[in-house]
Amino acid sequence: MLEGSVRAMLLHDVCEEIRLEELRAMLGARRAEPTFKHATPEHVRFEKPPVIGRASSITLYSGENVEVQVKYYEYGVVSVGFELPFAGDWESLVALAARFVPSAELERQAQDIVRERLERIASVIVRPYEQWISEDYYVFVLNQVDGNPTGADLLAQHGDEIARILRGENMELARSERADALQASLSYYPNDLVVVGWNAALVYDVPAAADTSIQILEYANSQLLEFRHYDELLDRELASVYASLKRRANFIARWRMGHEASRLNSVTVEVTELVERADTAIKFVSDMFAARLYRLAASKVGVPEYKNLVNEKLKTAEHLYRFLIDEFQQSRSFVLELMVVIILVIELIFLFRGKS
């Protein structure tokens, strides 16, 4: 017999910034501060803890009631969390995972909730985006398992079921796929376990510690969302610059290179600042388990890959900025030299007219 819950986190990147202190006062909401496996110094915290809105509940088409919680991050991410209590055997949990990973119904519900909440908090939203990008992640929480097995025993005895849960599959998986699904796992005490996949995770722990693991998983996905946004933003800006470079044979277009360079530099500085803000939003200075779990989660969902893409495009943008400035300087030098020649020609014309 298993007891726990299914947690679905649907994150949306909606704006450049949410003014959390004003939002907290507006909603009368609490901070989302993580707890840890053991006592840690006060500085092991979010730099600006996300704000948690009041919970509510909705009824799915299946008739199931799920609890809903909305969380607001300072760097413009809104996370809608759904929680469905669970009690049953392994096969029923596998079937539940196959139904929810992913869930089009929860995605629609989450978008409706975010739109409705944003209308209410519009005054604290900075530079809202016309189009959102989103990420979804599912966590299967086991608080009680018959026999209280260790994390290692749970993985050894029920690895097949855990792998199918993480993949959202009812059918048996190939051995290589099972091994890949289970390779990212860790424990702190003998009787806990976290297995992290790219789209879902399984957490076997007591409720308070499980909530902390879920929060770290959510933070990793919020980072992924931010880096995806920066990647798309840089793609658009670089495409615009490349289009301008194709027109540089046109003198007027070359003269506008200064404006293009200034705009590109502004975007580069802005993205660099935002990347640093998202990258340092939480610190795990003294809790090594939390730090390991974050690194594992970030690696599985693809944060390092997107971060590297963004950093490479920032380097490309810097090179292009210097090139655009050189092009603009050459155009300006040409104009100045041309003006000097024109002035000399005018002076010569007046000189020869005077002599005649």
pLDDT in tens, 75-96: 999 999 999 999 999 999 999 9
Instruction: Determine the Cα–Cα distance for residues 89 and 329; give it in Å rounded to an integer.
Output: 72
Model confidence at 297, in pLDDT bands (50, 70, 90)?
very high
Mean pLDDT (whole number) for 297-306? 92
Mean pLDDT (whole number) for 180-185? 94
Give the three-class secondary structure for 193: strand
Distances (CA, A) of 190 to 10, 123, 132, 152: 31, 48, 41, 8
Instruction: Determine the Cα–Cα distance for residues 7 and 200; give it in Å rounded to an integer.
Output: 10
Mean pLDDT (whole number) for 59-84? 93
Of 172, 206, 240, the one marking the end of a domain is 206
* Within a domain: 10: yes
**For all residues of the chain together, what is the average pLDDT?**
84
* Within a domain: 212: no
Q: What is the pLDDT of residue 42?
A: 45
Instruction: Determine the Cα–Cα distance for residues 317 and 15; give it in Å rounded to an integer.
Output: 23
* Within a domain: 213: no
Instruction: Determine the Cα–Cα distance for residues 350 and 356; give it in Å rounded to an integer.
Output: 10
Model confidence at 332, in pLDDT bands (50, 70, 90)?
low
As for how many domains the chain has, the answer is 2
Of 159, 178, 206, the one marking the end of a domain is 206
Q: What is the pLDDT of residue 33?
A: 58
Mean pLDDT (whole number) for 261-279? 72
Best mean pLDDT range from 35-44, 72-81, 251-260, 305-314: 72-81
Residue 85 or residue 285, greater confidence = 85
**CB neighbours of 97 closer than 8 A, spacing ≥ 6?**
6, 138, 140, 164, 165, 166, 168, 169, 200
Same domain, 230 and 349: yes
Mean pLDDT (whole number) for 38-52? 65
Same domain, 26 and 168: yes
Nearest 5°: phi and psi at 348? -65, -40
Q: Do 193 and 155 meet the contact criterion of CB atoms below 8 Å apart?
A: yes
* Within a domain: 214: no
Same domain, 174 and 250: no
Same domain, 186 and 309: no
* Within a domain: 156: yes
Same domain, 348 and 262: yes
Residue 346 or residue 84, greater confidence = 84
* Within a domain: 57: yes
Q: What is the pLDDT of residue 83?
A: 95
Q: What is the pLDDT of residue 43?
A: 41
Same domain, 294 and 326: yes
* Within a domain: 217: no
* Domain of 178, in residue numbers: 2-206
Of 206, 239, 263, the one marking the end of a domain is 206
* Within a domain: 216: no
Residues of the chain with pLDDT > 70: what percent? Answer: 79
Model confidence at 185, in pLDDT bands (50, 70, 90)?
very high
Same domain, 337 and 234: yes
Mean pLDDT (whole number) for 40-65? 76
List b or e across 40-77, with b for residues whose CB sees 16 or more CB atoms inside 10 angstroms.
Answer: beeebbbebbbbbbeeeeeeeeeeeebebbbbbbbbbb
Same domain, 166 and 48: yes
Residue type, 226: E
Same domain, 199 and 325: no
**CB neighbours of 182 closer than 8 A, spacing ≥ 6?**
155, 159, 162, 163, 195
Model confidence at 242, in pLDDT bands (50, 70, 90)?
confident
Q: What is this structure's pTM?
A: 0.83
Q: What is the pLDDT of residue 213?
A: 92
Whether the pLDDT of residue 187 is over 80: the answer is yes
Whether the pLDDT of residue 166 is over 80: the answer is yes
Distance of CA 344 to the CA centre of its chain: 60
Instruction: Determine the Cα–Cα distance for residues 332 and 334; give it in Å rounded to an integer.
Output: 5
Q: What is the pLDDT of residue 220?
A: 93
Same domain, 201 and 226: no
Model confidence at 289, in pLDDT bands (50, 70, 90)?
confident
Same domain, 126 and 27: yes
Same domain, 235 and 195: no
How many other CB atoms are there within 10 angstroms of residue 196's CB atom? 27
Q: Exposed, middle or buried: residue 86 (CB in 10 Å: 0-12, 13-18, 19+)? A: middle
Residue 115 or residue 348, greater confidence = 115
Q: What is the pLDDT of residue 44?
A: 45
Instruction: Determine the Cα–Cα distance for residues 96 and 138; give it in Å rounded to an integer.
Output: 11
